[in-house]
Each structure stands twice: as C-alpha cells, then as structure tokens.
Structure 1
Amino acid sequence: MTPIGRVVVVIPTYNEAENIAWIVGRLRAAQPEVDIIVVDDGSPDGTGAIADGLAAADRAVTVVHRPAKAGLGAAYLHGFRVALAGGYDVIGEMDADGSHQPEQLDRLLAALGDADLVIGSRWVPGGSVVNWPLRRELLSRGGNLYVRMLLGVRVHDATAGFRLFRRAALEKIDLASVQSTGYVFQTDLVARVLRSGMVVREVPIEFVERVRGDSKMSGAVAAESLRRITAWGLRERARQVRRALQR
C-alpha cells in the first residue's frame, strides 16, 4: 500500500456566497489535515472575497481568482496545476454546494491505498441520492450507462465530481492536452486514467441536492456533454476497427 502523503481538495466556485464558508468549515472539521484550494471564477456575488477571508484566517485554505466563468473543467485544471506546483501527493475534487459531504471524504481516503483515482459514487451498492426527482435519477443513470457502453469505461458513476487523484495519475494523463472545460470533463479524466492502465475505485456516497443557491447544471450543459461523449465513442470505435484491420 502506497502512503497517501499530503492531501488537498480543490473546490471551484461561481456565485456560492451562501455556501463557501459553510462547506469549507465542514471540510476543515471533518479532515483537519486536508488543505483546500478554492478556485473562484470571478463570482459577482462576492464569493471570492468571502474565500479570501477564510484564507486569511486559516493557512490551510488557498484562494485562486480567475477573471470570469470559463467552465467547471477549466477551473479544476487551474486548481490541479496550483496543487501540483504546491507539491501535494493527493488532489481531490468537491462541489461547494454541500452535495458532496465532507464527512464522507474518509471513505475515499480509505480506498486510495491501492488506487490511482477514487470516485465517490451514487450508483454503486450503498450509494444514494437525496431530494432528486425520478427523472433526474434516470437521466444520470442512463447517461452513465451510455458512457460505459460507448466508451467502454467500466465505472458506474463516471460523471461524479467527488473524487481523489494520486499526483502520479494527473501527471500521467497529460493535463495540458485536456480540452474539455464543462461537466464532461469528469468523464474525460476517468477515461484517460483507465486508458493509461491505472486503477480506479468507486466507493458509495450519499449525494445531497443543494438547498441553497442555484445549480449550474442545465439542459444545454447536459446536451453538450452527450455530444462530446458520442464523438469520443465514435472515434474510439473507429480506432478499434482500424487496429483490427491491420492485424
């Protein structure tokens, strides 16, 4: 079992003034040894200023300010680069709205012993969602089934955003070549880790729908993710056919 080392969790924010102090406080209480990088995309509601206050009071909190909203994936990529430059051994992802419960981060940390990427999964035995309508659950389950079938990704919750990467995994998948900036970024990184021959583990979590602030997910975002995944799947199938014909 490889030692875990220094751990940091990247939390991207856009208009999360109602949530950021709350979620940072919960994470610091649940895992006092884990550092935090808040990546704020120029939130007009003052989220960045609140995060700066948290950082001024707690050396475990760092804030990165970006000039404008540029997508979830872009924010995470920026945070990952900062974390790698800071020498962290394990780099995590977590939403700012409380849907990912910091009190369950210990489950992910425990599973990291023999894994390169650990995902907090809604759709493995023991996983669950709270306050989701049936339509949304079916959409998420169906989308993940589509990902498994089209991309050959043997993960039940490839779209999940509660996860931990070992440093070596992020270095191996070449973050500089990642072009997905929206929510499809999550699926992209899972596929890259698996294609690189690394180990992905899923652990069950309880996902709680946000109760404060507005969701950033929309029909347009979901449609764009579907288009990108379909294009990747078709390219992968074409590569498989070419390899078969060359044998």
Structure 2
Amino acid sequence: MIKNNWEVPQFQKKDFFEKRSKYCICIPVINEGEKIKKQLSRMPDLTGKADIIILDGGSTDGSLADDFLRQMNVRTLMTKKDRGKLSAQLRMGFVYAIEEGYEGIITVDGNNKDSVESIPQFIEELEQGFDFVQGSRYVPGGEEVNTPLTRKVAIKLIHAPFISMLAGFRYTDTTNGFRAHSIRLLQDEKLQPFRKEFDTYELLAYLSVKAPRLGYKVKEIPVKRSYPVGKVPTKISPLRGNLLLMKILLNLAFKKYDPN
C-alpha cells in the first residue's frame, strides 16, 4: 500500500508491456551509452520470472530509445524529473514496484559490470523467503576482475566492517548494488525508506544495516563484478566519493537516518 507521507521524486513513465511476473529488476542508469545496451543484451531470458524496469536519472545520450528497450524486453522506462541521484532513482522504482503489486525487487547497476547471469539466483532466494540478499564478489564462488586497489581496500577495511558492526550481520561487499529486496521489507513502518534524505548513496547503506536489525532474513550470495582495464570510468571523483561514503557511515552510526 502506498502511503500519503512517502516522498517520491517526480518522474515520467513509459510502459512497453503489461506486468508478467511477480518480481522485477530495477536498473538505475544515467548516460551509460553502450554499457547499458551491452548489459541488456546479456540479460538472461526472464520472461515470466522478472520484469525489467529502467530507472533513468535523466540520460541525454540516446541510449534508451523506445524501440531498443522493447526489443530488449524492458517492461517500463521511468525517467526522473526531479532532484536527487541514485537513492532518489531507487525510491521511484520501489514505489512503482509496490504500486504494480510485485513481491520482490532485484537491483543491479546499468554499467555492464555485474554478472546479470546471477539474477535467477536472486529470484530463488526471494522464493526461499529471504528479504534482503546482497551480492558479493568476496564470498566463495564470487569473482572480482580489475577492482581498483583503493576501492578494494576501502570496502574490505572500512565500509564492510563498519556496516557489519552496525547491522549485526557480517557482510563482505557492502558497496555492491546488486541486491534483492522483499516488498514486505520496503513497506515496514520501522524502515520508512521513502524519505528525501535518501538522495545519493544513503539508501544502500541504510538498507544493509536495518534489514538484519529489524529481524528480516538476510544473506550474501556470490556474484561477479568486472572493471575495465585501465582508468576506471566514474561519475564521481574518488576523493569526493570517499568523503561522501564516510559521511553516510557516520550518519548511520549516530542513527540520523532512523525514522523519528
């Protein structure tokens, strides 16, 4: 059920197909060019298992043409027409999934770095009753390719240990956006993820902490994440990005994101 006090960005929506599945895959993108095209072409046939929803932050590169999305079996294109970044895109996708009656949501970045072949495993975990499933390249069976050293050190020595301590659950790959969420988790009044303060990367860390704290079934599963050889393309500077992540961790520690 959608609540009147939920804060959701303004967006435009195009539906190319009717709802076909009880799960959906939300893919946040902005100007991903050939990367999102290659990723969609790699997606396994999920007909009847999960519908694909693109969460566009306002792309201007022509990569999300209607004909192409139909060809790739994308059900819906949502385009944000409001402020906010990743967490804002996720909020609009989560609300749409709830409105459409989906039972679970898988999220995966649209930059062609993730093993989209692993999506059926996330679906299976939702079927088994798990509420929050974190993909990890650092559990047995997981794989990393060309992970930048600074990112790997930050994840292993700072982000994952800190989030694990706050959550009371041992995570290994907490910045990874390849995840699954049950609708019952997202609708919990003790969680309240539909707030404007979730704007950049706050929602990723917040959900990781709160899901186990609220008693939901949580686990990690192996995935593969691959970076290109050479300079890593990024939309945020390493210094600015690391400072933002540290700010989010401190806010989590002081429970600044908890509902009033």
Common fold: TM-score over 0.5: yes
Q: C-alpha distance in 2, partners of 1:90/1:18?
A: 28
1:45/1:59 Cα in 2 relative to 1: closer, same or farther (>3 Å)?
Answer: closer
Q: CA deviation at 1:152?
A: 4.0
Letter aligned with residue 186 of structure 2 = L
- 2:115 counterpart residue number: 101
Q: 1:186-227: CA deviations, max 9, x gaps?
A: 111121212221111110111111579932343212211211
Counterpart pick for 2:217 among 199, 204, 217: 199
- 2:4 counterpart residue number: none
Letter aligned with residue 125 of structure 1 = P
Say if 2:122 and 2:133, in contact at 8 Å, map to a contact too. Answer: yes
Say if 1:19 and 1:98, in contact at 8 Å, map to a contact too. Answer: yes
- 1:242 counterpart residue number: none
1:69/1:12 Cα in 2 relative to 1: closer, same or farther (>3 Å)?
Answer: farther
- 2:89 counterpart residue number: 75
Instruction: Give the stretch that moved more between structures: 227-236 or 12-21.
Output: 227-236
Q: CA deviation at 1:234?
A: 3.4
Q: C-alpha distance in 2, partners of 1:25/1:129?
A: 21
Q: 1:87-124: CA deviations, max 9, x gaps?
A: 11111100111111111112222223131111111222
Counterpart pick for 1:37 among 41, 53, 61: 53
Q: C-alpha distance in 2, partners of 1:178/1:157?
A: 26
- 2:131 counterpart residue number: 116
Q: CA deviation at 1:68?
A: 6.0
Letter aligned with residue 95 of structure 1 = D
Matched residue SS, 1:154: coil
Q: What are the ranges of 5 or more consecutive residues in structure 1 without an aligned counterpart?
A: 237-247
Equivalences for residues 37-186 of structure 1 within 5 A: 37-48=53-64, 50=65, 52-57=66-71, 60-67=74-81, 70-112=84-126, 113-142=128-157, 143-150=159-166, 152-172=168-188, 173-177=191-195, 179-186=197-204
Say if 1:151 and 1:233, in contact at 8 Å, map to a contact too. Answer: no
Q: What are the ranges of 5 or more consecutive residues in structure 2 without an aligned counterpart?
A: 1-20
- 2:247 counterpart residue number: 227
Instruction: Give the stretch that moved more between structures: 223-232 or 147-156.
Output: 147-156
Matched residue SS, 1:159: coil
Q: C-alpha distance in 2, partners of 1:125/1:178?
A: 37
Q: CA deviation at 1:132?
A: 1.6
Matched residue SS, 2:133: strand
Q: C-alpha distance in 2, partners of 1:144/1:103?
A: 24
Matched residue SS, 2:194: helix
Q: 1:34-72: CA deviations, max 9, x gaps?
A: 211101111121234x2x223444664210111367211
Matched residue SS, 1:114: coil
- 2:34 counterpart residue number: 18
Matched residue SS, 1:70: coil
Letter aligned with residue 76 of structure 1 = L
Q: Give the structure with the larger helix fraction.
A: 1
Say if 1:90 and 1:166, in contact at 8 Å, map to a contact too. Answer: yes
TM-score of the two chains, using structure 1 as the length reference:
0.82
Q: Aligned residues: percent identity? A: 27
How many residues are matched? 229
1:61/1:210 Cα in 2 relative to 1: closer, same or farther (>3 Å)?
Answer: farther
Q: C-alpha distance in 1, partners of 2:140/2:237?
A: 27
